[in-house]
Homo-oligomer: A and B are copies of this chain.
Amino acid sequence: MQRLLLASTSTVHGKPYLTYILPELQEFFSGVSEILFIPFARPSGLTHEAYTKIAKKAFAEIGIAVRGLHEFDDPVKAIKKAQGIFTGGGNSFVLLNTLYQFQLIPVLKEAVLQGIPYFGTSAGSNIAGPTIRTTNDMPIVYPPTFDALGLIPFNINPHYLDPDPESTHMGETRETRIKEYHFFNSLPVIGLREGSWLNVQGDRITLKGTLPARWFSLEEIKEIPSGAVLN
């Protein structure tokens, strides 16, 4: 049975990296002594080494070791043998492109379907959906496709931001962007506010965290309360 934690963000304002979600991670990765970290999204252009160090430090708090995928000669084997997987945030285009370059998309999908617990933040959550077409990131590299892991049946918009009624900026609001998406795409989208995450156990997907999420489908736009099970 597949098990995933898909978080909007790694960090909430004013707290260190991953701190807000450590209790959930401890439960989710119960029995896991080491996780495999996928550092390919490279936030702020961080090297794989530097990014892995950050993940290591956070997971040390709950007694779990971390190794970066770039440390392995055979990344396919590393994924297949992982006790747990964490894909960090950064740029979704860079992340997806790198996974395709190393032909890791089918391997990663299969591993999660086989039951290896998967944790993603931001871009790492985005790629769990069918496509990255609702990322907020800049298209700084051109991936061979926008199709991603498709482990859940709808797209994620991480770092979901409500329109600011005080704003004088004329760029599109997040809601406008997602509505535009629906002129060209039919799959629903969940806007996950920072501090929210999805807990996926097989087909059962539960919204967690303190905030509601915003659901966009062709039929309706609505708020979903924390704790709700999505169908």
Contacts of A42 in B (CB 8 A): 180, 183
CA distance in complex: A11, B168 (Å): 11
Residues of A whose CB lies within 8 Å of any CB of B are 9-14, 42-45, 90-91, 93-94, 132-142, 145-146, 159, 161, 168-172, 176-185, 194
- Known A45-B179, A134-B138, A140-B183; 11 more pairs at CB < 8 Å: A91-B180, A93-B139, A132-B139, A134-B140, A136-B171, A137-B172, A138-B181, A140-B177, A140-B180, A140-B184, A161-B171
Contact call A170/B159, Cβ cutoff below 8 A: yes
CA distance in complex: A13, B145 (Å): 36
Shortest A177–chain B CB gap in Å is 4
Interface centre among A10, A93, A172 (most CB of B within 10 A): A172
CA distance in complex: A33, B222 (Å): 47
Contacts of A12 in B (CB 8 A): 170
Contacts of A172 in B (CB 8 A): 43, 137
Contact call B170/A44, Cβ cutoff below 8 A: no
Knowing A133-B139, A135-B139, A146-B139 are in contact, say whether A14-B180 is a contact too (CB < 8 A): no
Contact call A185/B140, Cβ cutoff below 8 A: yes
